[in-house]
Amino acid sequence: MKQGKRNKKEETNIGTSEKDSTVSADMAAEILTEMRAMRQDVAGKLKKIDASVKEVKEVVKNLENRIEESEHRIGASEERGDRTERLLAYMLTKQRQLGEKCEDLESRSRRSNICIYGVKEGAKGEMTMTEFTDNLLKSLLELPADRDLGIERAHRSLITAPTDPKASPRSIVVKFLHFPTKQQILFKAWSKKGVKYQ
């Protein structure tokens, strides 16, 4: 009897283990199916991530290229700016030097000039301004008539002639060929003090 019970027990154990193995096989198959589905899902997501990473890499590479190009352009602009500044400094120095030379030349050309004030407009008549000035200086300063004053040119100042007869007349600008002649004329005029024309 004990043995019969044991056999029965063994049979029930075997029956239970067969059921368990069937259940566990079904579960394993289901788990396997879910794992495969999960693997496919993860693989799909990984592909999307890989594609996104590739896009990001391309964008970064493009940005690097653009930054490199911008740096090159900025460097070239800075170089041009430096060259322009040096050129501008050189040109300003040259302009200053030329201005000084021009001023010196103007001063030298004016060294032999004198201005005569108070001579009425139209007083020269038919004579040229040079002839009139020559005669005027010789008569006012009592210079010899045959003396050559060496007047290069003479003209009224370049402002517009006054229309009002009461307005003061334009000055006469006289340029002498030689500076010493100008000095002698000025000395003679200063020594006579108060020389007036008519």
How many structural domains does the chain have? 2
pLDDT value of position 6: 56
**For residue 198, is it within any domain?**
no
Secondary structure element (H or E) that encloses residue 113, with its range:
strand 113-116
For residues 123 and 140, is the Cβ–Cβ distance under 8 A? no
Q: Which residues contact 188 (CB under 8 A, 6 or more apart)?
A: 141, 143
- Whether 4 shows a pLDDT value over 60: the answer reads no
Least reliable range by pLDDT among 74-78, 84-88, 144-148, 192-196 = 192-196
The whole domain housing 183 covers: 111-192
- Whether 188 shows a pLDDT value over 90: the answer reads no
Closest CA to 143 of 185, 91, 92, 97: 185
Same domain (yes/no): 141, 77: no
Secondary structure element (H or E) that encloses residue 116, with its range:
strand 113-116
Same domain (yes/no): 91, 5: yes
Same domain (yes/no): 104, 136: no
**For residue 26, is it within any domain?**
yes
Three-state secondary structure call for residue 115: strand
Closest CA to 120 of 198, 48, 53, 178: 198
pLDDT value of position 169: 87
- Whether 14 shows a pLDDT value over 80: the answer reads no
Q: Give the residue from 75, 109, 143 where a domain finishes.
A: 109
Q: Give the residue from 92, 109, 126 where a domain finishes.
A: 109
Which residues sit opposite 155 in a β-bridge? 173
pLDDT value of position 192: 80
| Band of pLDDT at residue 159, cut at 50, 70 and 90 | confident
For residues 153 and 160, is the Cβ–Cβ distance under 8 A? no
User: Using one digit for the tens of pLDDT, what is the confidence trace for 35-87?
Assistant: 888 888 888 888 889 888 999 999 999 999 999 999 999 999 999 999 999 99
The single residue listed with the structure tokens 């060929």 is: 177
Q: Which residues contact 102 (CB under 8 A, 6 or more apart)?
A: none
| Band of pLDDT at residue 17, cut at 50, 70 and 90 | low
pLDDT value of position 69: 92
pLDDT value of position 97: 95
Mean pLDDT value across residues 174-189: 89
Q: Which two tokens stand for residue 142?
A: 């009592």
| Band of pLDDT at residue 158, cut at 50, 70 and 90 | confident
Q: Give the residue from 109, 137, 167 where a domain finishes.
A: 109
Per the rule left: phi > 0, alpha: psi between -120 and 50, beta: everything else, 118 is left
| Terminal alpha carbon distance of the chain | 178
Sheet strand arrangement including 113-116: 113-116, 172-176, 151-156
Secondary structure element (H or E) that encloses residue 43, with its range:
helix 2-110
Summary mean pLDDT of the chain:
84
pLDDT value of position 76: 92
| Band of pLDDT at residue 94, cut at 50, 70 and 90 | very high
| Band of pLDDT at residue 175, cut at 50, 70 and 90 | very high
Same domain (yes/no): 62, 151: no
